[in-house]
Amino acid sequence: MSKKKVILGAQFPGVNNFTVWSDPAAGSQIDFSSFRHFAETVERGKLDFIFLAEGLRVREQKGRFHELDVVGRPNTLAILTALAAVTSNIGLIGTLTTTFNEPYPLARQMATLDTLSGGRAGWNVVTSPGAFTGANFRRGDHLPFAERYERAREFIDAARAIWQGGEFVVKSKHFDIVGRTDLPPSPRGGPVIAQAGDSDTGRDLAASHADLIYSRHGTLEEGQAFYRDVKGRLARHGRSENDLKILPGAAFALGDSQEEAEENLQAIRLQQVSPKNAIVFLEQVWNRDLSTYDPEGPLPQIDPEVSTPALAQGRASRVDDRLETARKWREIAEHEKLSIRQLVIKITARKQFVGTGETVAREINRYVQENAADGFVFAPHLTPTGFDEFVEKVIPHLQEWGVYRKDYSHGTLSGNLGLPRAA
């Protein structure tokens, strides 16, 4: 059997503590030169796409702006369209919510990006409803949590109707719109659709509507289980396994030897989880002020506060069962003799590929060939140079083994990804 091709996306370092700002090599998170450097680097590495996350409100902690992490980002579609002007092959995927956008303006913007980039546009569809983000928008908190995916599904259907070109008429529960577009219709029915929701409904939406999934499940076993689950849902929608690519988010740490790479990883993790950041992370579960605790000391014996609203606002992840989570963490910390900071470093670890360029490349390829993924979306820890080393040291091995392109052959994102032509 021939080997699967590896798919690789590069996430521009985002607004969270994985992006290290305290390193002397850390550059501007907002200047265009940073985005340009990042885009040119990943295009030199022949990556499939650049990926941008989204958060439409500045994050808060205990009723104050969260100060410890990188914050401040451009408008997602605007920066991607600017990047389209200075690149020629790299895909451009932006995360955009269906809750605080409307189908006509957003579909027209996606079509604009697709036209100006020559077919390189992608949309990571997220739902992220709620009063916190709603406070920045005309419609406010207009959508019940339970209806988020219903609206998302109807939204994508509406966008696809608009992307057909010419007249569109959409009448559904959430939308009642009529109009006309004159942009050239996209050959495969519109930009590439990605999906990041993890719930059962989220996975179903991906199975029926998406071209790729950006997932949280990066380890071999979890990845394989997720892969089986989601690919297994495709037949019900008349789609084949090749129609939906599964790309977990992941990180990497490189070195000239395995030992050096492990040391580099430790140093990066300490930068990512500063003493204060460790406390803030714990506060998300305990839901109380823990600022008097020593980050290098043991976990609090006091139980989480469960009766009051969350202290942390504007984060993608939510903590469901506080008491149970706290109990589990105490157990891990006691068993492994970990301080608060060490525990947080352990708990918040994403899938990490650690080693020399060659060992990292080998692991990536193994995960793909063993169906834990079709590829990965890598988020480096430094802006804007965080991907340079990956492009120099990892990509050439994948190319040598024939599982990664040596040059672009399509110029469109769906072509890069090897998606079937018809949507």
Partner 1 sequence: MTLDTPFHIGIGLDAGSRNFFHHETGPDGLLQRLDAAIDLITLEDRFARPDGGGLDAILFANWLGARTRHAGILAGAPVNVLEPFHVSTAIATLDYVTEGRAGLLAQTLDDEQIAAAKRATGPLNGYPADDRQSLDQDFDEAIDVIRRLWDSWEDDAVIRDPESQRFVDGAKLRYVDFKGSNFSVLGPSITPRPPQGQPIIAATVGAGNAAGGKADVDVVFLRTGLNDLPLLLKAASAVQPGLRYFADIDIDAGESKTELHWKTEAENVAARVRQWAFKGLSGIRLLPVRPERDLIPIVDHLLPALRAAGIGQTHQAKTLRERLALPAAANRYVHAA
Ligand X SMILES: Cc1cc2nc3c(=O)[nH]c(=O)nc-3n(C[C@H](O)[C@H](O)[C@H](O)COP(=O)(O)O)c2cc1C
Question: What residues make contact with ligand X under the rule CB under 6 A?
Answer: 53-55, 95, 97, 126-128, 196-199, 202, 214, 216, 249, 316
Q: Which of residues 152-211 bind partner 1 (CB under 8 A)?
A: 175-184
- Residue 275 makes contact with partner 1 by CB under 8 A: yes
Query: 359-398 mask for partner 1 (x: CB under 8 A)?
Result: ----------------------------------------
Any contact of residue 16 with partner 1 (CB under 8 A)? no
> Quick one: what does residue 225 bind among partner 1, ligand X, none, with the CB cut-off 5 to 8 Å set by partner type?
none
The two beta strands, 121-126 and 64-65, are: unpaired
Q: Name the pairing type of β-strands 312-313 and 245-254.
A: unpaired
Q: What is the DSSP letter of 234?
A: S
One-letter amino acid at 16 equals: N
Min dist. Cβ of residue 92 to partner 1 (A): 11
Compare residues 77 and 377 and give the one whose CB is closer to partner 1: 77
Angstrom CA distances, 359 to 7, 221, 224, 365, stand at 17, 19, 21, 10
- Longest CA–CA span in the chain (Å) reads 65
- Select the binding partner of residue 364 from partner 1, ligand X, none (C-beta < 5 to 8 A, by kind): none
Q: What is the Cα 265 distance to its own chain's centre? A: 21
Tell the smallest beta-carbon distance from residue 19 to ligand X (Å). 13
Report whether 316 contacts 130 (CB < 8 A): no
> Does residue 277 bind partner 1 (CB under 8 A)?
yes
Quickly list DSSP for 185-210.
PPTTSSSEEEE---SHHHHHHHHHH-
Q: How many CB atoms lie within 10 A of CB 273?
A: 25
Cis peptide before 384 (omega within 30 of 0): yes
Cα distances (angstroms) measured from residue 299 to each of 271, 276, 327, 339, 343: 20, 14, 10, 7, 9
Quick one: tokens of 241? 């396994």
How far, CA to CA in Å, does 161 sit from each of 38, 115, 177, 187? 34, 17, 11, 13
Should residue 67 be labelled a site residue for partner 1 when binding is judged by CB under 8 A? yes
- The least distance separating partner 1 from the CB of residue 18, rounded to whole angstroms, comes to 13
Q: Which amino acid is at 57?
A: R
- Does the footprint of partner 1 cover residue 139 (CB under 8 A)? yes
Q: Which does 216 bind (CB under 5 to 8 A by kind): ligand X, partner 1, none?
A: ligand X
Our finding on whether 219 is near partner 1 (CB under 8 A) is no
113 binds, among partner 1, ligand X, none (CB under 5 to 8 A by kind): partner 1
Nearest distance from C-beta of residue 24 to partner 1, angstroms: 10
Q: How many chain residues interact with partner 1 (CB under 8 A)?
A: 63
Residues at the contact surface with partner 1, assessed by CB under 8 A? 21-22, 26, 30-32, 55-58, 64-75, 77-79, 81-86, 100-102, 104-105, 108-109, 112-113, 115-116, 135-140, 142, 175-184, 274-277
